[in-house]
């Protein structure tokens, strides 16, 4: 299939299976449509278009799309504001399993991930207000392996909300990190309905976090990854090093849309600060060009001209910074109209407040989301720490921080 | 953006990289920068022999047939070595104006000397009152007989002291800041009425103030159409921006890598200073600034190769804004992290910083190009 035909097919697939946010006013409707979207992806096999096209029984469904095609696919999805295709399971758990999972683990879990049958959350960070100062422990007692502790677990963006029921999009599995008796970090791959595991959504700006209590949770040996210690932490920090199928996130498109709306707002509703704000808008637009160029560069093959690949954490860092820059500019451009929490109005099925026109309304909604405390988190790691240690060689051991808010 | 480089591009990149690494030491560079000529004639001949002086010119004109990508790859390597030879002034600026505006006869007459290294050249486009506006020209060219008479003053002409050929922008009609009415002329710096005041620049290059008093040139000296020189000038300067921006990318890579290496070795309080998180983050930010600049370099070069127009101009201005901001950040932090050493003449760090600072100013600084970007 040539590039043009493929693009047509990809856009048609999205149009057929995703109704678009304008028709999904309430989060409940969004949730339902998200489940349908993931089901369609899984049925069509487009969920794992980026996996290797192996035919063995453990993975077997990949399509080996080129990185450029995958990136385009992500951009189309971003453009249509679909639920994330690059989920935590796809971008972190699957590469980890492919590289370090046992045959049994791969056979069970990869096909489930490919079909979006079970969503995952990542139990890496621990809350500062945990009941005990101890980290989560994995202990052998009476020939049983038991997990105890608390986690602040990260799930995919829109899959969790404090107001949503436990349905298909509720995290079905958790990748949980704990210290064993030999003081080594271990990774447990567990179903969340296991006895002793309790998940409670944490109210915050985007509802992506769960408080997880682990109380005498039994763990089977087959549920542990063989990879452990610093090597495990490094792999978690940079899953892209495990597999070429992990792609840079196409963030630039969503940010471009924000800037487009902001430009409309600034040129439509002029006031005495307009010139200053327009200068800041141009700065953000240059930064967007820079992010786009970085995203394209990250897809470039290694050659003697570009002898090292661009690390994906660099993209995360740039996207975060630009998001913050745009957020600040949005606030500055709105004046008092930065105050209404438009996403809260939306959740209660009320109309948005946009006395200055539709662009204002849409931008205000995005601004509200941009204020999320998660703006600078990369699965809980600070991208600067990853880049310093893994790419600049400034130190050996990568330590996870304790609380996501510390990265913000 | 297609990052699959051709075999020719790869070979060009590798050959310049080898030269800079093996044959262009910082000490030699400093020695040549301090010489009467201000650069090394031997190096210039080597550039000619290796075909580098012909890279941006078409094969029909005796060149390599390269485009913006080739120019960027080359200048980036020059940036690594802080190359002092006047490639920008002679090949990119003066050569570029002739390439874009010159007749076939002018190209046949003037370009071979530039390509074989026998001609040094300069572009005299700036004037004291103009700041960064290319159209702000008070130098006049008045038709007289079969030719023109030039009167005026051109500021900070790069490579002016060595130039054997100068392309001068002058007003043949219109008001002081009109884009119409600007004409480009080839002027012999030894012609009657041309006087120069030469000086070194803070980044160790050479420049001149040039006064034109009743300088007579013939009609064949006009490059392109009379009164239509602005378009040629604008495109040439945009290519100049790509060239110096690419050079800045090379400078920044050198600075951040040397800073990282220094911080891994320099010990304070019983450990390498590179282990302190606050310094690590600063070096990551230097790395990020370099990577962003490099990525925009490729974007701008590819846009230029797709065809010169508003999209390419916008990409060039975005690149220049980034270079200005990033160069300042990387340079300042490299100096800062090297401590007092960063300020010394013996260490290369401060010299790279000076070059980056000048690059921000050349052809319009970051503020100027941010406005241009917004207006395009």
Q: pLDDT per residue over A13-28, tens digit each?
A: 999 998 866 666 665 6
What Å distances lie between residue B65 and B56, B68, B69, CA to CA?
6, 10, 11
Task: Mark whether A108 and A138 lie in a shared domain.
Answer: no
Chain A residues within an 8 Å CB radius of B370: 279, 282-283, 286
**Domain boundary residue, one of B65, B83, B118:** B118
User: Closest approach of chain B CAs to the CA of A158, in angstroms?
Assistant: 30
Query: Does the pLDDT at position A64 exceed 50?
Result: yes
Query: Is A307 contained in some domain?
Result: yes
A216 in the same domain as A140 = yes
A311 and A345 both lie in a single domain: yes
List, for residues B357-367, the tens digit of each pLDDT value.
999 999 999 99
My answer on whether A110 and A125 are in the same domain is: no
Residue B1 belongs to a domain: no
Query: Going by DSSP bridges, is the β-strand pair B271-272/B267-268 parallel, antiparallel, or unpaired?
Result: antiparallel
Could you tell me if residue A11 is inside a domain? yes
Q: How many CB atoms lie within 10 A of CB B136?
A: 17
Residue A399: per-residue pLDDT = 47
Calculate the dihedral angle through the C-alpha atoms of A290, A396, B330, B314, rounding to the nearest 10 degrees: -10
In a domain, A391, yes or no: no
CATH number at residue B126: 2.40.110.10
Say yes or no to pLDDT of A68 above 80: no
Instruction: Tell me what the mean pLDDT of segment A53-58 comes to.
Output: 50
pLDDT digits over A222-231, tens only? Answer: 999 999 988 8
Contact B322, A286 (CB under 8 A): yes
Same domain for B244 and B351, yes or no, is yes
Helix (H) or strand (E) holding A27: helix A27-44
Residues in chain A with CB shorter than 8 Å from the CB of B74 are none
Task: For chain B, give the mean pLDDT.
Answer: 96
Range of the domain at A156: 120-226
**pLDDT at A57 (0 to 100):** 47
* Measured distance CA(A174)–CA(A192) in Å, rounded: 6
Compare A239 and B296 and report the one with higher pLDDT. B296
Confidence of residue A375 (pLDDT cuts 50, 70, 90): very low
Range of the domain at B251: 231-375
Q: Is residue A119 within 8 Å of A87, Cβ to Cβ? A: yes
* Both structure tokens of B67: 């485009």
Indicate if A106 and A150 belong to the same structural domain: no
Asked if residue A65 has pLDDT above 90, the reply is no
Cα of A100 to nearest chain B Cα, Å: 29
CB atoms inside a 10 Å sphere around CB A308: 7
pLDDT over 70 (residue B71): yes
Q: Please, which pLDDT band fits residue B4 given cuts at 50, 70 and 90?
A: confident
Note whether B334 and B301 are within 8 A (CB).
no
The residue with greater pLDDT, A342 or B261, is B261
The whole-number pLDDT of residue A209 equals 74
pLDDT of residue B157: 98
The verdict on residue A57 lying in a domain is yes
- Per-residue DSSP letters for B256-272? HHHHHHHHHH-EETTEE
Report the pLDDT value the prediction gives residue B375, as an integer from 0 to 100: 93
Average pLDDT over residues B269-277: 89
- At A170-200, the pLDDT tens digits run 788 999 999 999 999 999 999 999 999 998 8
Residues A179 and A260 in one domain: no
- What is the sign of the dihedral through the CA atoms of B189, B190, B192 and B197? positive
Alpha helices in B34-84 (DSSP H): 41-49, 68-81
> Hey, what are A405's tokens?
């808010």
3-state helix, strand, coil in chain A (%, to 5): 50, 15, 40
Domain boundary among the residues B228, B259, B275 is at B228
A284-315 per-position pLDDT tens digit: 999 999 999 998 888 787 788 888 888 888 88
**pLDDT of amino acid A152:** 80
Residues B238, B299: one domain? yes
Q: Note whether residue B200 is domain-resident.
A: yes
Element (H, E) at B122: strand B121-124
ipTM: 0.89
In a mutagenesis test of the B interface, which of A305, A308, A390 is the best target, namely the one with the most B β-carbons within 10 Å? A305
Q: Residue A55 has what pLDDT?
A: 41
CB-CB neighbors (< 8 A) of A292 in chain B: 299
B60/B87 same-domain check? yes
Mean pLDDT of B120-142: 97
A298 and A350 in a common domain: yes
Among A347-361, B81-95, B264-278, the range scoring the smallest mean pLDDT is: A347-361
Q: Are B202 and B164 in contact (CB under 8 A)?
A: no
- Report residue B307 CA to chain centroid gap: 20
Report chain A's mean pLDDT, rounded to a whole number.
Answer: 77
Any residues with CB less than 8 A from the CB of A348 and at least 6 apart, and which? none
Confidence check: pLDDT of B257 > 50: yes
Q: Which residues of A touch B3 (CB under 8 A)?
A: 296-297, 299-301, 303, 306
Looking at the domain assignment, is residue B273 inside a domain?
yes
Decide if pLDDT at A92 tops 90. Answer: no
**Partners of residue B273 in chain A, C-beta under 8 Å:** none
Q: A186 and A168 in one domain?
A: yes
Query: Is residue B376 within 8 angstroms of chain A, CB to CB?
Result: no
Residues B180 and B174 sit within 8 Å (Cβ to Cβ) = yes
Cα–Cα distance measured from residue A129 to residue A282, given in angstroms and rounded to the nearest whole number? 42
Q: How far is CA B332 from CA A179, B83, B283, in A?
A: 43, 21, 12
Asked if residue B170 belongs to a domain, the reply is yes
B370 and B243 within one domain? yes
Whether A289 and chain B come into contact, CB under 8 Å, resolves to yes
Tell me the average pLDDT across A348-361: 56
Identity of the residue in B294, B299, B370 whose CB atom sits nearest the CB atom of A282: B370
- Residue B75: pLDDT over 70: yes
Judged by CB atoms closer than 8 Å, whether chains meet at A314 and B288 is answered as yes
In a domain, B2, yes or no: no
- Give yes or no for residue A363 having a pLDDT over 60: no
Instruction: Tell me: do B274 and B327 sit in the same domain.
Output: yes
Picking from B281, B283, B322, the nearest residue to A286 by CB comes out as B322
Cβ-Cβ pairs closer than 8 A, A with B, add up to 110
Q: Does the pLDDT at position B86 exceed 50?
A: yes
Interface of B with A in 236-265 (CB under 8 A): 260, 263-264
Q: How confident is the model at residue A401 (pLDDT cuts 50, 70, 90)?
A: very low
Three-state DSSP state, A292: helix
Q: Tell me the chain B residues in contact with residue A300 when contact means C-beta distances shorter than 8 Å.
A: 1, 3
When pLDDT is cut at 50, 70 and 90, the band that residue A340 belongs to is: low
8 Å CB contact of B280 and A299:
no
Q: Which domain-ending residue is among B118, B143, B173? A: B118
Domain of B38, CATH number, reads 1.10.540.10
Query: B249 and B363: one domain?
Result: yes
- Using the predicted structure, report yes or no on whether residue A168 has a pLDDT greater than 80: no
- Residue A143 shares a structural domain with residue A195: yes
B243, B369: one domain: yes
Q: State the Cα–Cα distance between residues A21 and A41, nearest whole angstrom.
A: 18
The Cα–Cα gap between A342 and A353 comes to 7
Euclidean distance between CA atoms A107 and A149, whole angstroms: 29
What's phi and psi for A298, nearest 5 deg? -65, -20
B68 occurs within a structural domain: yes
Q: How far apart are CA B125 and CA B170, in angstroms?
A: 8
Task: Check whether residue B129 and residue B235 sit in a common domain.
Answer: no
Last residue of a domain, one of A209, A226, A243: A226
Nearest-5° angle of CA A138, CA A171, CA A20?
A: 155
CA–CA distance from B345 to each of A160, B16, B303, B311, B341 (Å)? 59, 26, 39, 41, 9
Q: What does A45-93 look like in DSSP terms, one character per residue?
A: TGGGTTS----SSSS-------HHHHHHHHHHHHHTTPSPSS-HIIIII
Q: Provide the pLDDT for residue A162.
A: 43
Contact (CB, 8 A) for A80 and A153: no
* Measured CA distances, A346 to A26, B233, B256 (Å): 7, 54, 47
Which tens digit of pLDDT belongs to each residue from B173-196? 999 999 999 999 999 999 999 999
What's the CATH code of the domain at B243?
1.20.140.10
Mean pLDDT of A68-74: 80
Kindly state whether residues A107 and A127 are assigned to the same domain.
Answer: no
Q: Which residues contact B195 (CB under 8 A, 6 or more apart)?
A: B210, B211, B213
Inter-chain touch A305–B10, beta carbons under 8 Å: yes
DSSP state of B36: S
Pair (A207, A297) in one structural domain = no
| Cβ proximity of B52 and B16 under 8 Å | yes
pLDDT score of A5 more than 80: yes
Q: What is the CATH number of the domain that holds A198?
A: 2.40.110.10
* Interface touch A395/B280, C-beta < 8 Å: yes
Put simply, whether B295 touches A (Cβ < 8 Å) is yes
B146 in a structural domain:
yes
Residue A356 has a pLDDT of 56
Q: Is a pLDDT exceeding 50 seen at residue A406?
A: no
pLDDT at A207 over 60: no
Residues 6+ apart with CB under 8 A from B258: B334, B348, B349
Is the CB of A67 inside 8 Å of chain B's CB atoms?
Answer: no
Token couple for A2: 């040539």
Q: What is the mean pLDDT of residues A17-45?
A: 76
Q: Output A250 or B299, whichever has higher pLDDT.
A: B299
Report the number of secondary-structure helices (H) and strands (E) in chain A.
13, 7
Would you say residue B183 lies in a domain?
yes
In whole angstroms, give the CA distance from residue B59 to residue B110: 15
Residue A330 is part of a domain; what is its CATH number? 1.20.140
Q: What pLDDT does residue A373 have? A: 36
- The answer as to whether A387 is a domain residue is no
Give the whole-angstrom CA distance, residue A340 versus residue B264. Answer: 49
Q: Is A349 exposed, middle or buried (0-12, 13-18, 19+ CB in 10 A)?
A: exposed
Contact B23, B45 (CB under 8 A): no
| Three-state DSSP class for residue B153 | strand
Rounded to an integer, the average pLDDT of B297-308 is 96
Q: How confident is the model at residue A54 (pLDDT cuts 50, 70, 90)?
A: low
Cβ distance of B285 and A384 shorter than 8 Å: yes
Q: Could you tell me how far CA B309 lies from the centroid of its own chain? A: 20
% of chain A with per-residue pLDDT over 70: 72
For residue A81, the model assigns a pLDDT of: 77
The contacts of residue A376 (CB under 8 Å, 6+ apart) are: A320, A324, A382, A383, A407, A408
Nearest to A287 by CA among B1, B291, B242, B322: B322
The H or E element that residue A404 is part of is none
Which residue of B5, B314, B318 to mutate against A (max A Cβ within 10 Å)?
B318
Q: How confident is the model at residue A408 (pLDDT cuts 50, 70, 90)?
A: very low
Which residue among A192, A226, A260 closes a domain? A226
Nearest CB among A292, A303, A388 relative to B283 is that of: A388
Report the gap between the CA of A297 and the closest CA in chain B (Å): 6
- Same-domain check for residues A257 and A303: yes
pLDDT > 90: percent of chain A: 19
Q: Looking at the structure, do residues B243 and B348 belong to the same domain, yes or no?
A: yes
> Is residue A63 in a domain?
yes
Average of per-residue pLDDT across B231-246? 98
Tokens of A154: 């990260």
Mean pLDDT is lowest, of A9-23, A261-275, B279-293, for A9-23
Render pLDDT for B155-165 as a digit per residue (tens, 0 to 9): 999 999 999 99
pLDDT given at position A21: 62
Question: A132 lies in a domain?
Answer: yes
- CB-CB contact of A156 with A150 (8 Å): no
Task: Quote the tokens at residue A371.
Answer: 């204020």
How many domains, in total, are found in chain B? 3
Query: Is the per-residue pLDDT at A118 higher than 90?
Result: no
Same domain, B86 and B156: no
DSSP letters, B16-34, are HHHHHHHH--HHHHHHHHT
B14 interfaces chain A, CB cutoff of 8 Å: yes
Neighbouring residues of A224: CB distance < 8 A, sequence distance ≥ 6: A145, A186, A187, A188, A189
Dump the DSSP string for A310-333. PPHHHHHHHHHHHHHHHHHHHHHH
Number of domains into which chain A is organized: 3
Is the domain of B171 the same as that of B270? no
One domain, residues B370 and B240: yes
- Of the candidate ranges A83-87, A92-96, B267-271, the one whose mean pLDDT is the lowest: A83-87
- Going by C-alpha positions, the residue among A355, A343, A389 that lies closest to residue A163 is A343
* Maximum mean pLDDT: which of A262-266, A386-390, B223-227: B223-227
Mean pLDDT over residues A50-76, rounded? 67
Residues of B in contact with A290 (CB under 8 A): 292, 295-296, 318, 322
A122 backbone dihedrals φ, ψ, rounded to 5° = -110, 115
CB of B288 within 8 Å of any CB in chain A? Answer: yes
């Amino acid at each position: 299939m040539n590039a043009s035909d493929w693009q047509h097919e990809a856009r048609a697939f999205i149009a057929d299976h995703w109704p678009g946010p304008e028709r999904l006013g309430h989060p409940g409707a969004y949730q339902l449509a998200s489940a349908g979207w993931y089901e369609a992806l899984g049925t069509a096999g487009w969920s794992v278009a980026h996996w290797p096209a192996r035919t063995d029984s453990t993975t077997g469904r990949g399509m080996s799309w080129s990185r450029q095609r995958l990136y385009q696919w992500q951009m189309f999805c971003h453009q249509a504001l679909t639920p994330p295709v690059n989920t935590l399971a796809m971008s972190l758990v699957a590469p980890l399993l492919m590289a370090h999972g046992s045959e049994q683990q791969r056979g069970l879990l990869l096909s489930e991930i490919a079909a979006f049958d079970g969503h995952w959350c990542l139990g890496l960070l621990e809350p500062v207000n945990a009941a005990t100062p101890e980290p989560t422990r994995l202990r052998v007692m009476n020939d049983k392996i038991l997990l105890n502790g608390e986690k602040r677990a990260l799930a995919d963006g829109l899959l969790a909300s404090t107001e949503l029921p436990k349905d298909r999009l509720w995290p079905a599995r958790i990748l949980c990190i704990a210290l064993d008796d030999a003081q080594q970090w271990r990774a447990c791959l567990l179903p969340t309905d296991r006895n002793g595991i309790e998940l409670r959504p944490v109210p915050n700006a985007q509802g992506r976090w769960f408080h997880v209590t682990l109380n005498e949770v039994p763990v089977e040996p087959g549920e542990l990854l063989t990879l452990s210690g610093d090597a495990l932490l490094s792999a978690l920090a940079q899953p892209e090093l495990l597999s070429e199928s992990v792609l840079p996130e196409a963030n630039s498109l969503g940010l471009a849309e924000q800037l487009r709306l902001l430009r409309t707002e600034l040129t439509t509703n002029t006031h005495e600060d307009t010139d200053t704000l327009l200068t800041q808008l141009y700065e953000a637009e240059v930064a967007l060009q820079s992010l786009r160029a970085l995203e394209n560069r990250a897809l470039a093959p290694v050659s003697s001209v570009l002898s090292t690949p661009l690390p994906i954490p660099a993209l995360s860092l740039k996207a975060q910074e630009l998001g913050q820059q745009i957020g600040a500019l949005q606030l500055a451009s709105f004046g008092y109209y930065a105050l209404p929490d438009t996403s809260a109005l939306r959740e209660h099925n009320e109309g948005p407040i946009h006395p200055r026109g539709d662009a204002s309304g849409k931008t205000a909604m995005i601004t509200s989301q941009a204020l999320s405390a998660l703006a600078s988190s990369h699965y809980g790691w600070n991208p600067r720490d990853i880049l310093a240690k893994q790419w600049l060689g400034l130190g050996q051991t990568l330590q996870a921080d304790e609380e996501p808010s510390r990265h913000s | 953006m297609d990052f699959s480089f051709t075999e020719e591009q790869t070979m060009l990149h590798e050959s310049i990289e080898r030269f800079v690494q093996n044959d262009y030491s910082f000490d030699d560079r400093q020695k040549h920068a301090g010489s009467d000529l201000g650069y090394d004639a031997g190096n210039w001949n080597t550039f000619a022999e290796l075909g580098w002086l012909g890279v941006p010119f078409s094969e029909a004109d005796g060149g390599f047939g390269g485009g913006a990508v080739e120019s960027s790859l080359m200048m980036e390597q020059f940036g690594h070595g802080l190359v002092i030879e006047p490639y920008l002034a002679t090949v990119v600026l003066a050569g570029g104006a002739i390439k874009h505006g010159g007749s076939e006869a002018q190209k046949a007459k003037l370009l071979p000397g530039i390509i074989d290294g026998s001609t040094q050249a300069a572009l005299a486009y700036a004037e004291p009152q103009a700041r960064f506006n290319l159209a702000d020209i008070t130098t006049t060219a008045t038709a007289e007989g079969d030719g023109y008479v030039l009167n005026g003053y051109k500021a900070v002409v790069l490579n002016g002291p060595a130039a054997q050929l100068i392309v001068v922008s002058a007003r043949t009609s219109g008001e002081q800041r009109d884009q119409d009415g600007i004409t480009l002329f080839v002027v012999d710096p030894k012609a009657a009425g041309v006087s120069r005041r030469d000086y070194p620049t803070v980044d160790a290059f050479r420049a001149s103030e040039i006064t034109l008093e009743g300088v007579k040139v013939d009609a064949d000296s006009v490059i392109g159409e009379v009164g239509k020189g602005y378009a040629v000038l604008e495109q040439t300067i945009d290519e100049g921006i790509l060239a110096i921006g690419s050079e800045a990318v090379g400078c920044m890579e050198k600075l951040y890598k040397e800073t990282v290496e220094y911080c891994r070795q320099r010990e304070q309080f019983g450990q390498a200073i590179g282990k302190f998180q606050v310094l690590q983050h600063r070096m990551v930010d230097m790395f990020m600034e370099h990577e962003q600049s490099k990525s925009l370099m490729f974007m701008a070069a590819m846009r230029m190769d797709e065809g010169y127009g508003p999209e390419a101009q916008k990409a060039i201005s975005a690149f220049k804004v980034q270079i200005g901001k990033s160069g300042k950040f990387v340079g300042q932090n490299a100096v800062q992290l090297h401590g007092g050493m960063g300020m010394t003449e013996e260490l290369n760090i401060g010299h790279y910083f000076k070059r980056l600072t000048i690059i921000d100013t050349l052809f319009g600084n970051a503020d100027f190009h941010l406005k241009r970007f917004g207006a395009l």
